[in-house]
Amino acid sequence: MGIEIERKFLVANEGWRQDAENTPGAHSTLMCQGYLSSNADRIVRVRIDGEQAFLTIKGRAQGGIDNISRGEWEYPIPVADAQDLLKLCEQPLIEKTRYRIPHEGHVWEVDEFFAENAGLIVAEVELESEQQAFARPAWLGEEVSHDKRYANANLLRHPFSQWDK
Amino acid sequence: MGIEIERKFLVANEGWRQDAENTPGAHSTLMCQGYLSSNADRIVRVRIDGEQAFLTIKGRAQGGIDNISRGEWEYPIPVADAQDLLKLCEQPLIEKTRYRIPHEGHVWEVDEFFAENAGLIVAEVELESEQQAFARPAWLGEEVSHDKRYANANLLRHPFSQWDK
């Protein structure tokens, strides 16, 4: 088991697109993911990430006051299996482009969503401890780590296009 | 993906125990399994089978009139992962001894359940097609392939000890 500790933010402006193009080591992949279980106690996710695919299980977030840690188990699976499994998943699926942008020792993952969640852009950073410091890119906006609407499993039932904004 | 085609029976008497002891190649293992999803459209099972562990996904049963076929995807995982994942699963877990008994070209799996399902004994045979013939052991009882109460995922919520018998 790994422990996943991540913080999630909106973006304040479009500056991340330049970083995604110009930062050495930055790259992007198309992701399609679905949920065999979107129950927050035991999330089971199928994801195709470019040429790879994974089956991932996540437990309920718990830990410190920030509640941003949770158990995560991830297994690589054949892409052909993932394509079949995505058909079993709760619908709709979640599609997004993930841009990975190195910034001062961390890699930021900026997800630009499509389809029912078009318009939503979220930036995440994975930390080694809940207290670990990190440098904020200039384009980083409001933190939404604790706003459950932004959990990908919740975007299934309440897609961004249907939010009161 | 594999397709799982299996038929399930009660046992008519205790004769299977002698076969489990005396048939060359017969053996038994202790199984503990739980469900990350018990939704019949997308079952996700964690199972420790003796010294091995598996993560298994099953789609809804479909196919011929007998409705005994379904998609199945199975991935070996470390036993230590399975022990952690079982804690995430819906409770209670299902514990049973599985006896594997060769009989005229097929291997019968006889499951003897414990705990909330004590008293339940079920024999299954896996087939290559829904029409495939198979020899019935002398101890084989009533077929229950279509009785959803006997699905392991349903034994979670309606354990054998609570059935009207």
With a cut of 0.90, is the ipTM above it? Answer: no
The count of residues in chain A is 165
Cβ–Cβ below 8 Å for A57 and B75:
no
Q: Which of A1, A36, A71 sits opposite B57 (nearest CB)?
A: A36
For residue B126, what pLDDT is reported? 94
pTM across the whole model: 0.86
Cβ–Cβ below 8 Å for A55 and B55:
yes
Contact of B92 with chain A, judged by CB distance below 8 Å, is answered with no
Query: What is the per-residue pLDDT across B65-124, written as a single tens digit (0 to 9) for each?
Result: 445 667 899 999 999 999 999 999 999 999 999 999 999 999 999 999 999 999 999 999
For residue A63, what pLDDT is reported? 54
Query: What is the per-residue pLDDT across A136-164, written as a single tens digit (0 to 9) for each?
Result: 999 999 999 999 899 888 898 899 999 98
Contact of A79 with chain B, judged by CB distance below 8 Å, is answered with no
Instruction: Count interface pairs A-B at CB distance under 8 A.
Output: 55
Distance between CA atoms of B90 and B86, rounded to whole angstroms? 8
Contact of B77 with chain A, judged by CB distance below 8 Å, is answered with yes
Distance between CA atoms of A135 and A101, rounded to whole angstroms? 13
Q: How far is B30 from chain A (nearest CA, A)?
A: 24
* CATH T-level fold of A2-162: Hypothetical Protein Pfu-838710-001 (2.40.320)
Contact of A75 with chain B, judged by CB distance below 8 Å, is answered with yes
> Which are the contacts of B61, defined by CB distance < 8 A and separation ≥ 6?
B40, B67, B68, B69, B70
